[in-house]
Structure 1
């Protein structure tokens, strides 16, 4: 017997970052959109907790207790007083260490899959609380769709989306450490007043309207400058996608994946081809949003 859960990647259409808190985290106004790139997490009974992974960049995925999927299984098992004896297989299609919450997706997927496999019937609010303990992006991976994340991103409020948005994601060689990008944000803003992060009304209106041009005019990411500081080559990728016809370009989350909003699916395919040909990225993928959250298949 096994259970498979499909779980989406995300793009941050707004990522406003506040000053560092005493606990080292930052308050955020983080508007998430789930996009149609997915990992599939399959769990089956085993004699001990173990993880395997297949797919692009699988070699970069840790297969020990640090993996969020393993931590999710252990956390759920501890809550119910059972042993986390399960084989977790991750079929990886979300870029690794790419600012698209691939690890968080796997954590949410494993949590939902183990709950179904073990028949533990954990209430949704308890699953979300476990997600928040695992990481700031994990609750959104469970919920999907579109949401505003506040606090460190784990407190979610659903956001209305009035249409389908088409994206291209340019995958860079290698990853970027999210903590390193936040440290660079702190370095770049040292000695300045960092405003309180708030959601953009214009951006929320653009999502509600389903108008890609209106959304393009309101996209923002406070982690883009530190990501570019650490990886200057991303500027060429952003320029290549814009020149190819994207309405807007930005670093996805903490990077190094870059995201390009296009007017329609045909333009997305054209921009993806141009980015691949440009030599400024390893590959380019198209996807639409919003997408559903973690789903048992």
Structure 2
């Protein structure tokens, strides 16, 4: 195989996610909450491009880019460092993240960045890692990273990183109501502990109604089964979310749920046309800072091409 030209980069796309159901157990001694969730990867994407470089750096553009750290707190940089350390690579990388997933919106945007970076750096550095090995590394970075690598629809247990595929039929259309002010996952879990932890099980389980609805492609049944144990905590922190939920329901959504730790609200529609109508109703009511329509399930992190970096970008 001939060496890749120095100006060539690798571009990888990874999806955001919606939690169709999220069961949260009582906090364990190690600080984690056991989860039972069903993820669906949707067509809100993070694009990560990795170019050869002397150092390891990251730049960001796109949705809520101003809220994304570019230092060691960035999950993409952490992913590059972890892969290099495990494989013995002593190379730099210039990463560029183009965001299409809300920041701190409960949709796993940072996890998608990490997943895409693992795939991109593996291709750029030719480390030859299997997808299973990348998934194992991803779990060290965050509980949602393995799902961003896998995509589609899956059941998540443990911290959410122990995945098994879920059988689904058909396509699912969603309207997402976004807020510029994100909601900290840690804060949502903290409020959950204050409000509900004494009343929940040690080990949650997935509602069988969700699995039946997915297997049958039964949209009304899935809408009725959407649930999230963190929703009460998200509403406690950001009570204005309640109005967004109500507007989406009044607009005819089959089901409405806060995604993950919030504050993004996901409304299930019968069709793409209805998803657009729900988006119009949310916009007209002024109960979200932005709206987007997405569909799922979609594939996990994958290489979508190479990209030549302009000379001025290379410095």
TM-score (norm 1): 0.98
CA deviation map 1:170-229 (0-9, x unaligned): 001310000100011100024435352111211101011111101011111000000000
> Contact 2:26–2:197 at 8 Å: present in 1 too?
no
Q: Distance in 1 between matches of 2:86 and 2:168?
A: 35
- Where do 1:265-280 residues align within 5 Å? 265-280=272-287
Name the Cα RMSD after superposition.
0.9
1:41-52 aligned within 5 A: 41-52=48-59
Q: Residue 26 of structure 2 contacts residue 198 of structure 2 at CA under 8 Å; is this kept in 1?
A: no
Aligned pairs for 1:155-170 within 5 A: 155-170=162-177
Gaps (5+ residues) in structure 2?
Answer: 1-7, 305-315
Are the counterparts in 1 of residues 210 and 225 from structure 2 also a CA contact under 8 Å? Answer: yes
For these two proteins, the number of residue pairs brought into alignment is 297
Match of 1:289 among 289, 296, 303: 296
Conservation of the 8 A alpha-carbon contact between 1:73 and 1:84: no
Tell me which moved more, 166-175 or 188-197.
188-197
In structure 1, the partner of 2:129 is 122
| Residues in 1 aligned to 2:140 and 2:128: alpha-carbon distance in whole angstroms | 19
Could you tell me which runs of 5 or more consecutive residues in structure 1 were left unpaired when the two chains were aligned: none
Q: Which residue among 255, 260, 266 is the counterpart of 2:267? A: 260
Write the deviation string for residues 100-132 of structure 1: whole angstroms up to 9, x where unpaired.
000000000000000001111102211111000
TM superposition score normalised by structure 2: 0.93
Give the structure 1 partner of residue 208 of structure 2.
201
Q: Does 1:135 align with 2:137?
A: no
Question: Within 1, Cα distance between the matches of 2:173 and 2:255?
Answer: 11
Q: Secondary structure at the match of 1:94?
A: coil
Q: Counterparts in 2 of 1:101-120, with a 5 A limit?
A: 101-120=108-127
- 1:73 paired with 2:80, answer yes
Larger of the two Rg values belongs to structure: 2
Does the aligned pair in 2 maintain the 1:7–1:109 contact within 8 Å? yes
